[in-house]
Amino acid sequence: MNNFTYARAVDTADAVRQGAAVDAKYLGGGTNLVDLMRETLERPSALVDVTGLSSAITEQVDGSLLIGAAAKNTAAAEHIAVRTRYPVLARAILAGASGQIRNMATVGGNLLQRTRCPYFYDQDGSRCNKRSPGQGCDAIEGFNRIHAILGAPSACVATHPSDMCVALAALGAMVHIAGPDGQRTIDFADLHVLPGEHPELETTLRPGELITAVELPAVPFARQSAYRKVRDRASYAFALISVAAAIDIDNGVVRDMRLALGGVAHKPWRALKLEAALKGQPATPENFLAAAELELADAKPLTHNAFKIELARRTIVAVLAELTGEIA
């Protein structure tokens, strides 16, 4: 039995004050944290309920959209500005979970999901560097069909589970944070980290820090965006591969674009090499394929997941072809 205290935060300052306690955790919808507590993978000393904090979704004067961290996933997906200006995000949220879970889960909590690697959950029978640093990683030589092919060192090959985060990575979102040392804003790309020497660390959040909002920049061509998720079954399964993309075409040439991959790495994977290769080039399936191959050139498959490379390549080409009206 793990005893813990529970308190509802009245505002952000109160949440941060209470969250500064040793081993305290912020509680949003609880759709991941409560599961982890049941499995004793998380053993907080205190739960600080932040569901009463900002859930507003507000259009800013500079054209950006500010989404309060306490907003429910359903509310974000259904908001008219998200559906019309950032359809890739709405589609990613809808692909991510059942309606019941979307109604409970919060935007801030979605960003902090932990991996669904079965070796991470198997405390009695498997070694896991994420759970116990230095212990080893049984996934590397085990059944690793769902695991990472990009950015994965020998310490950990787990993948990030969120669909929403793949869309946010593609959009170049910003994350607003409050903590004991004040407030700060970081690029979404800097929130999650690759395993490196510390596979137990998944984000750059400092002790006691709380995500307060996610900001979507004004990206006019994000209206022309899409999300595709390839999974083992049609409902409520995590991605084998997912692609979030937005593209701006001028006279058949790629003027600008954003693309991110899910299911391939320890964090949502922004395809910067692919983007650079396509900008200024004709929007053709042949160029899409060449750019996809460039992005995946450093992929390192494991025993059971080499198929992900070809699956990612084909999915990238298919999504870009869909957005540009080309035939892949």
pTM over 0.85: yes
Question: Does 165 reside within a domain?
Answer: no
Q: Which residues of 88-117 are buried (b: 16+ CB within 10 A; e: fewer)?
A: bbbbbbbbbbeeeebebbbbbbbbbbbbeb
The predicted-structure confidence for 114-148, as pLDDT tens digits, reads as follows 999 999 999 999 999 999 999 999 999 999 999 99
pLDDT-based confidence at 327, cuts 50/70/90? low
Question: Does 198 reside within a domain?
Answer: no
Question: Does 86 reside within a domain?
Answer: no
Question: Does 253 reside within a domain?
Answer: yes
Alpha helices in 86-233 (DSSP H): 87-96, 99-104, 107-111, 118-121, 164-171
The predicted-structure confidence for 238-253, as pLDDT tens digits, reads as follows 999 999 999 999 999 9
Question: Does 90 reside within a domain?
Answer: no
Higher-pLDDT residue of 328 and 125 is 125
Question: Does 234 reside within a domain?
Answer: yes
The predicted-structure confidence for 296-309, as pLDDT tens digits, reads as follows 999 999 999 999 99
The predicted-structure confidence for 68-87, as pLDDT tens digits, reads as follows 999 999 999 999 999 999 99
pLDDT-based confidence at 154, cuts 50/70/90? confident
Q: Are 263 and 249 in contact (CB under 8 A)?
A: no
The predicted-structure confidence for 190-215, as pLDDT tens digits, reads as follows 999 999 888 999 999 999 999 999 99
pLDDT of residue 323 exceeding 60, the answer is yes
Q: Rounded CA gap, 151 and 157, in Å?
A: 9
- What's the whole-number average pLDDT of the chain? 95
In the DSSP assignment, the letter for residue 221 is G
Task: Provide the pLDDT for residue 241.
Answer: 98
Q: Rounded CA gap, 312 and 307, in Å?
A: 9
**Residue percentage of the chain with pLDDT more than 70:** 99
Question: Does 301 reside within a domain?
Answer: yes
Phi-psi group of 174: left, alpha or beta (phi > 0 → left; psi -120 to 50 → alpha; rest → beta)? beta
Give the domain extent around 237: 226-324
The predicted-structure confidence for 220-242, as pLDDT tens digits, reads as follows 999 999 999 999 988 788 999 99
CATH of the domain at 274: 3.30.390.50
pLDDT of residue 328 exceeding 60, the answer is no
Question: Does 210 reside within a domain?
Answer: no
CATH of the domain at 37: 3.30.43.10
The predicted-structure confidence for 256-265, as pLDDT tens digits, reads as follows 999 999 999 9
What is the total count of domains within the chain? 2
Cβ neighbours of residue 199 closer than 8 Å, sequence gap 6 or more: 129, 130, 133, 137, 155, 156, 158
Task: Provide the pLDDT for residue 196.
Answer: 84
